[in-house]
Amino acid sequence: MDMTNDERRIELLNSQAHIWNHIFNFINSMSLKCAIQLGIPDIIYKHGRAMPLSELVAALPINHSKAQCVYRLMRILVHSGFFTEEKLSENAKEEQDGYLLTPASRLLLKDEPLSVTPFLLAMLDPILTKPWHHVSEWFQNGDPTPFGTAHGRTIWEYGQHEPRLNHFFNEAMASDARLVAKVLVKDCKGVFEGLHSLVDVGGGTGTVAKAIADAFPNLKCTVLDLPHVVSGLQGTDKLNYVGGDMFEAIPSADAVLLKVEVAWWWWGGSYGDCGGGAVVVLIVEVDLSPPWSNCTLRFDCELERSQTRMLILCTNNGKQWILHDWSDEECIKILKRCKEAIGSNKEKGGKLIIIDMKVENQKAGDHDESMETQLLLDMLMMILYTGRERTEQEWAKLFFDAGFSDYKITPILGLRSLIEVYP
């Protein structure tokens, strides 16, 4: 049936509004970045109750000529769900609203252990936003990523010469590591039960090791990292810091926890002495920077198969998520090495455990927020790396192509899932 003139006009206006909303979506992100840089979430939190606009303006480190603009900034942030308003008086003459935090803005507080502020500031840094202006150019050239088109080198190469990139990535990964650690010790207890000692290789300041040590009273953790990294860090009776070189020696332990530079560790040919017991390898972060990026991953393949019971790939956001950073071909190579490491005896408990994202199959008219986040992250992988997010069917193909026989996917971490893969 033909549309009436009124229907056409409504359709036209709705279509225009839809386009405009997408054109201006970046304003939401940049407004939120501004609020964080000005310290608005922390100022409202410290106020302890609904905060009037006048008091918020007085507390902000801004030029007095910009005071009237704060209301406009807060209005868009309230609309976006980062703050809420509460009436402070029923008197019409004194009617004024006060601002309160929402569950989302509580994750932006400086002292929030699971704060996502470092990740937000990393993703909105000009270094990482610049590649988005080169996507159409990238589609027409032979560069692996738009990041390479924009900066003339891969993100790994760029990071070697730009300390700021490394800094904000490390901060972002540390904040996510706290969330991953919290879920691991709560929902993946079986991985650590029965262990008495664990070495966190390249463990930095010990974010994950601390969480594991606190959760398991009988487990003593050691963090091994470069001397300048652990210098000055104070250990406890359950957590010890050791300065050293993972290429030369790794302290003996029941289990080895790997969080950074996995390829570097195996390239050096160093293995922890686990005394003939079960080997649990927990990879939470990985960096395959050049010149190791083209090397074959070995994944403790030189250990006796009978010693290796379980290999765990537990991944974080950004550059440290393992499989979603890489193409299908590269992932299959990694998975094959994992299969070699855990052997072929499913009955004895050998399995590969991955914490990563499973993208749901999109249906027409489906506007689920988590689905949109997954699709946005998939685009991010295309822009910064050569990887992708995967559906269950795509995961299954990788597993079977790598020689695995079965798998099970269990959602445990918001958008991420626990994936158990069996030989």
pLDDT at 254: 60
Is 324 a catalytic site residue?
A: yes
Burial 299-321 (b: 16+ CB within 10 A, else e): bbbebeeeebbbbbbbbbbbbbb
Length of the chain: 423
* pLDDT band at residue 80 under the 50/70/90 scheme: very high
On whether the CB atoms of residues 99 and 106 are closer than 8 A, the answer is no
pLDDT tens-digit profile of 3-42?
888 889 999 999 999 999 999 999 999 999 999 999 999 9
Query: Is the pLDDT score of 166 beyond 50?
Result: yes
Query: What's the mean pLDDT in 47-51?
Result: 96
What pLDDT score was predicted for residue 158? 86
Kindly give the pairing relationship between strand 197-201 and strand 220-225.
parallel
Q: What is the mean pLDDT of residues 291-311?
A: 36
Domains delineated in the chain: 5-109 (1.10.10.10), 177-422 (3.40.50)
- What's the pLDDT band for 343 if we cut at 50, 70, 90? low
φ, ψ for residue 409, nearest 5 deg: -115, 125
The rounded mean pLDDT for the chain is 76
Is residue 237 scored above 80 in pLDDT?
yes
112 phi/psi in degrees, rounded to 5: -75, 120
Global pTM reads 0.68
Percent of the chain with pLDDT over 90: 34
pLDDT in tens, 347-375: 544 566 677 788 877 665 556 677 888 88
In this prediction, residue 274 carries a pLDDT of 37
Band of pLDDT at residue 81, cut at 50, 70 and 90? very high
Q: Quick one: three-class SS letters along 274-293?
A: CCCCCEEEEECCCCCCCCCC
Which band of pLDDT confidence, cut at 50, 70 and 90, is reported for residue 126? very high
Residues paired with residue 314 on neighbouring β-strands, in sequence order: 355
Rg (CA), the chain: 25
| Residue 280 reports pLDDT greater than 70 | no
> Are 47 and 99 in contact, with CB atoms under 8 Å apart?
no
Residues 380-393, mean pLDDT to the nearest whole number: 88
Residue 287 confidence (pLDDT) above 60: no
Among 87-91, 337-341, 382-386, which range has the highest average pLDDT? 382-386
Which of 22, 167, 324, 367 is catalytic? The answer is: 324
Which of residues 321 and 182 earns the better pLDDT score? 182
Strand-pairing partners, residue 420, are: 353, 408
Could you tell me what percent of the chain has a pLDDT over 70?
70
Angle at 263 between CA 260 and CA 264, to 5 degrees: 80
> 30-34, 46-50, 132-136, 264-268 — which is least confidently predicted?
264-268
Quickly count: other Cβ atoms within 10 Å of residue 420's Cβ.
16
Residue 202 has pLDDT above 80, yes or no: no
Give the pLDDT of residue 264. 25
Q: What pLDDT is attached to residue 423?
A: 76
Q: How many CB atoms lie within 10 A of CB 67?
A: 15
Query: Which of these, 355, 362, 330, lies nearest to 414 by C-alpha position?
Result: 355
SS3 320: helix
